Amino acid sequence: MPTITPFLWFDTQAQEAMAFYTSIFKDSKVISSNPMTVQFELQGQRFIGLNAGPHHKFTEAVSFFVEVDTQQEVDHYWDALLAGGGRPDQCGWLKDKFGLSWQVIPKALPRLLTDPDPAKAQRAMQAMMKMIKIDLADLQRAYAGT
């Protein structure tokens, strides 16, 4: 069976990025590092980073989705991924200091947005569209209509 591994092209910061990401996510590890490439694992997912120069930049067309249980976890990953020069965006999206896009959301969000009751789902969607970082309590209040 083939293995699919995200391959991240950095200018010169592959080692720095690997250290940054492995410091944020529990159950992460460095697999290998040399001046040209790094290999690391985050939550069981292997990544390869390449120092290949400034020819290509990350875009929002490829991003990483971090789905967590609690608001405390949303806050932790949101703040950690923004550290050192990241930029927040709408609806739980952000770009980290390397320009890589992430979305940090609570696991409850898809359930709230796809509720069979269209009024509840719409209220949750409208609340989310006004958010930068996702606030689970505010989403649940909107969903409930309170």
Helices (H), 62-135: 71-82, 108-113, 118-129
pLDDT at 14: 98
Given a contact cutoff of 8 angstroms between Cβ atoms, the answer to whether 130 and 91 are in contact is: no
Q: Where are the chain's structural domains? A: 1-54, 58-146
pLDDT, residue 107, reads 97
Q: What is the pLDDT of residue 138?
A: 97
The C-alpha atoms of residue 72 and residue 57 are separated, in whole angstroms, by: 31
State the Rg of the chain over Cα: 17
Which residues fall within 8 angstroms of residue 126, CB to CB, at 6 or more apart?
142
Task: Please report, in tens digits, the pLDDT of each residue of the chain (146 residues total).
Answer: 899 999 999 999 999 999 999 999 999 999 999 999 999 999 999 999 999 999 999 999 999 999 999 999 999 999 999 999 999 999 999 999 999 999 999 999 999 999 999 999 999 999 999 999 999 999 999 999 99
Which numeric CATH code is attached to 58-146?
3.10.180.10
User: In a 3-state reduction of DSSP, which class is residue 9?
Assistant: strand
Please choose, from the candidates 28, 32, 29, 102, the residue with its C-alpha nearest in 3D space to the C-alpha of residue 68.
102
Hey, what CATH topology would domain 1-54 get? 2,3-Dihydroxybiphenyl 1,2-Dioxygenase; domain 1 (3.10.180)
The yes-or-no answer to whether 1-54 and 58-146 have a common fold is: yes
CA angle 29, 65, 108 (to 5 degrees): 115
